[in-house]
Structure 1
Amino acid sequence: MTVTSPVNTPKSPAAAVYLLPAELRNYVRNRETGLVAVAIVIGLLSGLLVATISYLSQATHSFLFDIPLDAHLSATGVISWQRTLLIPTIGGVVLAVVARFFAKRVKGQQLADAIEANALYGGRLSFRGSLLISLQTLLSNGFGGSVGLEAGYTQICSMFSSHFGQRLAARRNDMRLLVAYGAAGAISAAFSAPLAGAFYAFEVVLGAYTSAGLVPVIASAVTAWLVARHLTHQSFLMVPGFPSPVSVEMVGQSAVIGVLCAFASILVMVAVAFSERCFQRISIFKGTLRPVLGGALLGSLALLTPTVLGAGHGAMQILLVSNPTWLLLTTTILFKMAASAVSLGSGFRGGLFFASLLLGALLGQLYSIVVTSFLPGIALQPGTAAIAALAAFGTGVLGAPFSMVCLALEITGDFSVTVGAVVASSVCALIVRELFGYSFATWRFHLRGEVIRGPQDVGWVRQLSATSLMRTDFESALSTMPIAEAQKTFSPAQVRQIVLRDPKGAYAGIVTSADLYSTAAQDDQTDDQTLATLARQTNEFLLPSASIRDIMKMFARSEADALAVIDRSDHRAAIGVVSESHVLRTYGEELERRNEELFFR
């Protein structure tokens, strides 16, 4: 019998995604070389997208701020005060208009980033929603917002990867891998750092290192790096002076830098949350004035120092090689923190990736200058301290120590400098996890009420609800039924528990078969007693939407073997029964299957 494949038909009437040819889908689903080939294609696309968005940002800066096309906005001190103040404010107006215009067009769609999509939605990203987020990121950065383009790079590259996976009818775990390919290509192309891009995909987007994903992730990162290198001509970061030799003093001071960066990164994340709460109190015109006010505040800060404008690429390089004073470094750090918090809190789109690198580099330089004034013989060189702090601060914000260590190596090209980065990043990661418990992305999820702590796939847990786990063929009886009658009606060999309902039909508890027949053994005078006297869990029940984790917590708290599921808390009509043994068995089987999918194909 010949089975036809719906090559050009949607998977469902509601989904307008047309599948690729069946031969290609089967090749990708069944062969690891198929995933590698897809990863290379995604890497090519990611490199092109990053180069295009980077050029558009540069062109926007050149046009709006009247600077040379090849100049960095944060390193330009010749911008007129009128443009410095007005352009970010106008950018806030544009962002408000764009948000209002597209609000209805993306209504009902999940505006998730790559991390949230992999954690909750099996790697599925909204096409139009992701385009809107990328556009807002480009506009935010183009009008001088103190945000990085890395969030936009990752969003659009991961979105195309996810869309490609939907056309391939990819499995859930393969969809998550495809999103990671796009993220790896985006970061690799953005920083000319393929190792950092690959580890970013594993640590931040996948949440685990897998042998099945190693080769294709590397393939995507390297391909994107090769494409972007020829289109953008990025170079290594120039680190001043000679690197400090590896010694006990060098390791100890790197650990101190890690401690400082841990507290500073926590301060930045808390400042962004505080800024967002402050701007949310502005309800004039339904909050559309928030980005306008944020742009005005950003422009005011830029009048004091232009380093707060844009992501800060040019400012980092200039401050690394210009031997700045401690006062200049201190004020720049404070102003950059404030600018990033104001930008993100008021509605400018973007991320803290590069801002954290800039803040870390400045903090490391400041540490070197201060220690040199007291202990000139053992103080770290400014370049070594800057790279160690850069990696540590990035680790505190992103929660990706391996990515930051690789980035420090790749942007400097000096292996000896990264020894301090390893120590500082490890110390910073430990302190942030212990005291704060979140990276910037997961902290934002926490503020929104989400319980996810990383990109690990927990969406399947939400799919296992009381509705999917309950049995509907349960035995029920009125709570007023005499015990003697119930003993004749229900056989102990066939019935484990009886769900009771009161005369109005509401749930009234559960009677186990053991309780029912042990009563007969103890007392033969059961004619006047009703089932209500044997009822358990009268006020302990489950709602249909309860997740499997909530169900297991309820079992642990109630110490029951079975729980009833009711339709609504105000109606309390029993619609099913969930047993603890079935829940534990289902959870164990699903967990084992997800682990097998993660590490094996």
Structure 2
Amino acid sequence: MVSAPHPAKPAGTPGVRLLPLFLRNFVRNRETGLVLVAIVVGLLGGVLVAAISSLSQVSHALLFDIPVDAHLSATGVISWQRTLLIPMLGGLVLALIGLYFARRVKGQQLADAIEANALYGGRLSFRGSLLISMQTLLSNGFGGSVGLEAGYTQICAMFGSHVGQRLAARRNDMRLLVACGAAGAISAAFSAPLAGAFYAFEVVMGMYTSAALVPVTASAVTAWLVARQLTHQSFLMVPGFPSPVSVEMIGQTVLIGVICAFVSIIVMLAVAFSERCFQRITVFKGFVRPILGGLLLGGLALLTPTVLGAGHGAMQILLVSNPTWLLLTTTIVFKILASAISLGSGFRGGLFFASLLLGALIGQLYSIVLTGLLPTLALQPGTAAIAALAALGTGVLGAPFSMVCLALEITGDFSVTVGAVVASSVCALIVRELFGYSFATWRFHLRGEVIRGPQDIGWARQMSAASLMRTDFENAPTTMPIGEAQRLFSPALVRQVVLLDPNDAYAGIVPAATLHSVANRDDEPLGSLAQQQDECLLPTTSVREILKAFERSEADVLAVVDRGDSRTAIGTLSESHVLRTYGEELERRNQELFSR
């Protein structure tokens, strides 16, 4: 009796328990199902952002002895002992955590949302993401000059990825759910659902499609509503009357965009320089790096407490007061140094809020300086601050639409938003021309990755020579006479012959057409006809490198060898097969992207 075949199990992540079949089918086959999942991800995101924000406030209150509802960077009554020692203690805690988890997370995918979407089809490590979020919370809680946005985004995107894995979602749907998590995180953090949605499109997905609009927007709005009910906090209050839209206003916002472009490049280079300096400290395998970073940060905080934490309180106080140009200048310089030291020494976090703070202060400084020179032409401080905030955020994050939406949602004023649009556009153009990276892609570049954004290139990397090659190839020793090879390898059955030297190592390829076009050379060795002796592929060679190799060698077929030293032939690869397979896969990915 023949038993009925069992239904095939869906391809999921090992160790992840799948949700019921009817639910998986509903999400895979109906856009409504994906939207409902995005709403759940947004709900989780709003709760998580509110919880992490509250934990940060409580840790600041306990460690620095300030009121729970006070902002750390806006409190000037902290004792010098706490100011100096608490960041050092935070560095020690981070060093111990890094030492404890070094082996336990070894080999796990500790990618952020951008890298996960670019390389891993939206798959994020559950434990690794929890570790990153915990380190970000501790870094901020102990006074590190970093924002919590990296932690928000990491944990919310991870839950989006985890839900997608339990639903056995398609690759593109997985990437979309990661973007939904990131949109909810930014929306809840800044009370800005539009900015959160466009952040997901620009930074986490790298593109906008109509199929992704509703899920991402639903997640952002849900997270915003939940966080607003739980925290009851607004992101920023901008005082004063906005400057009206005019030729002078447009010209000055262009200048602000230019200034912010150069400052954003300086900020990113400062972080990279700080990392290189701290990496030279190899005492106890770098254990002392975050401790030393905490000491330097505490020293800066003794000069001005505005460098502690993300800087929400300092930003609001400086906007509503009338600070001098000297105070603004020193605050800007110290904040850049503090952020570079924090990130370079091993504190976890990002430059999202630091870029907004620096931008607002630069805009305010511009307005104060110009008011002293040309009081009738100078922009209002609030208008200049919002334009520079959006511009510097664009330069660092590479998300102009997200920053413009943030400016609109902060102010609700069209004229201010016009200035933000102009400044952001100018800044984005200059940074792309002179630097070419945002902060996220710059970090990938420093690690040796070629990722320039979140666009999905992981599937292309999975197409390697090992997965494309044919293993049923004909081979012959280089010493075989040509006449014998002509009798042995018929041109109707064999297209090429792979040659092996006396040590069985790869020694070239002889096309069948070349072999049978030779006359009166029956006794000569087959090796005299060898081509591409020095041109071969390794099994891990990516499809793009394979295509470059074909273009460089001008060959139709290349051999694949096991290693560069032994050069044992294990397969052959034709250019026509690579182009056909690559084109078919590219077309399939495009269909998945624009039509579920």
Hey, what's the Cα distance between the residues in 2 that align with 1:371 and 1:549?
52
Hey, what's the Cα distance between the residues in 2 that align with 1:76 and 1:483?
87
Deviation of 1:570 after TM superposition, in Å, equals 1.1
Q: Which residue of 2 aligns with 1:538?
A: 533
Deviation of 1:2 after TM superposition, in Å, equals 8.3
Q: Which residue of 1 aligns with 2:557?
A: 562
Hey, what's the Cα distance between the residues in 2 that align with 1:405 and 1:25?
37
Q: Is the 8 A contact 1:10 1:16 kept in 2?
A: no
Hey, what's the Cα distance between the residues in 1 that align with 2:548 and 2:282?
39
Q: Is the 8 A contact 2:42 2:222 kept in 1?
A: yes
Structure 1's unaligned 5+ residue stretches are none
Q: Which residue of 1 aligns with 2:569?
A: 574
Confirm or deny that 1:460 pairs with 2:459. Answer: yes
Between the two proteins, what is the percent identity of the paired residues?
80
Report the 3-state secondary structure (helix = DSSP H, G, I; strand = E; otherwise coil) of the residue aligned with 1:18.
Answer: coil
Deviation of 1:194 after TM superposition, in Å, equals 0.3
Confirm or deny that 1:552 pairs with 2:551. Answer: no
Q: Is the 8 A contact 1:236 1:410 kept in 2?
A: no
Hey, what's the Cα distance between the residues in 2 that align with 1:102 and 1:5?
40
Confirm or deny that 1:337 pairs with 2:332. Answer: no
Report the 3-state secondary structure (helix = DSSP H, G, I; strand = E; otherwise coil) of the residue aligned with 1:15.
Answer: coil
Hey, what's the Cα distance between the residues in 1 that align with 2:244 and 2:48?
40
Q: Which residue of 2 aligns with 1:176?
A: 175
Q: Which residue of 1 aligns with 2:71?
A: 72
Report the 3-state secondary structure (helix = DSSP H, G, I; strand = E; otherwise coil) of the residue aligned with 1:16.
Answer: coil
Q: Which residue of 2 aligns with 1:190?
A: 189
Q: Which residue of 2 aligns with 1:501?
A: 500
Report the 3-state secondary structure (helix = DSSP H, G, I; strand = E; otherwise coil) of the residue aligned with 1:416.
Answer: helix
Deviation of 1:354 after TM superposition, in Å, equals 0.2
- Which deviates more from structure 2 when the two are superposed, residues 374-383 or residues 142-151? 374-383
- Which deviates more from structure 2 when the two are superposed, residues 392-401 or residues 239-248? 239-248
Structure 2's unaligned 5+ residue stretches are none
Confirm or deny that 1:244 pairs with 2:239. Answer: no
Confirm or deny that 1:430 pairs with 2:425. Answer: no
Deviations 1:469-509 (A, max 9, x none): 11111111111111111111111122211111112211110
Deviation of 1:87 after TM superposition, in Å, equals 0.6
Question: Match for 2:534: what amino acid?
Answer: N
Hey, what's the Cα distance between the residues in 2 that align with 1:536 and 1:4?
50
Deviation of 1:413 after TM superposition, in Å, equals 2.3
Pair 2,491 (structure 1): closer, same or farther in 2 beyond 3 Å? closer
Paired residues for 1:166-565 under 5 Å: 166-235=165-234, 237-520=236-519, 525-565=520-560
Hey, what's the Cα distance between the residues in 2 that align with 1:400 and 1:593?
28
Deviations 1:78-119 (A, max 9, x none): 111111111101110111111111222212101110000000
Question: Match for 2:46: what amino acid?
Answer: G
Once superposed, what is the RMSD of the aligned Cα atoms?
1.4
Report the 3-state secondary structure (helix = DSSP H, G, I; strand = E; otherwise coil) of the residue aligned with 1:510.
Answer: strand
Question: Match for 1:547: what amino acid?
Answer: S
Q: Which residue of 1 aligns with 2:107?
A: 108
Deviation of 1:15 after TM superposition, in Å, equals 1.9
Q: Is the 8 A contact 1:236 1:413 kept in 2?
A: no
Q: Is the 8 A contact 2:190 2:235 kept in 1?
A: no
Hey, what's the Cα distance between the residues in 1 that align with 2:595 and 2:562?
40
Matched residue pairs, number? 594
Report the 3-state secondary structure (helix = DSSP H, G, I; strand = E; otherwise coil) of the residue aligned with 1:509.
Answer: strand
Deviation of 1:512 after TM superposition, in Å, equals 1.0
Hey, what's the Cα distance between the residues in 2 that align with 1:550 and 1:4?
41
Question: Match for 1:184: what amino acid?
Answer: A
Deviation of 1:595 after TM superposition, in Å, equals 1.4
Question: Match for 1:264: what amino acid?
Answer: V
Pair 199,2 (structure 1): closer, same or farther in 2 beyond 3 Å? farther
Pair 255,2 (structure 1): closer, same or farther in 2 beyond 3 Å? farther
Q: Is the 8 A contact 1:11 1:17 kept in 2?
A: no
Hey, what's the Cα distance between the residues in 1 that align with 2:187 and 2:5?
42
Hey, what's the Cα distance between the residues in 1 that align with 2:546 and 2:207?
27
Report the 3-state secondary structure (helix = DSSP H, G, I; strand = E; otherwise coil) of the residue aligned with 1:110.
Answer: coil
Which consecutive segments of 4 or more residues in structure 1 shift more than 3 A? 1-6, 9-12
Hey, what's the Cα distance between the residues in 1 that align with 2:287 and 2:405?
41
Report the 3-state secondary structure (helix = DSSP H, G, I; strand = E; otherwise coil) of the residue aligned with 1:145.
Answer: coil
TM-score after normalising by structure 1: 0.97
Q: Which residue of 1 aligns with 2:584?
A: 589
Deviations 1:223-254 (A, max 9, x none): 00000011111225222221111011111111
Report the 3-state secondary structure (helix = DSSP H, G, I; strand = E; otherwise coil) of the residue aligned with 2:76.
Answer: coil
Hey, what's the Cα distance between the residues in 1 that align with 2:497 and 2:578?
19
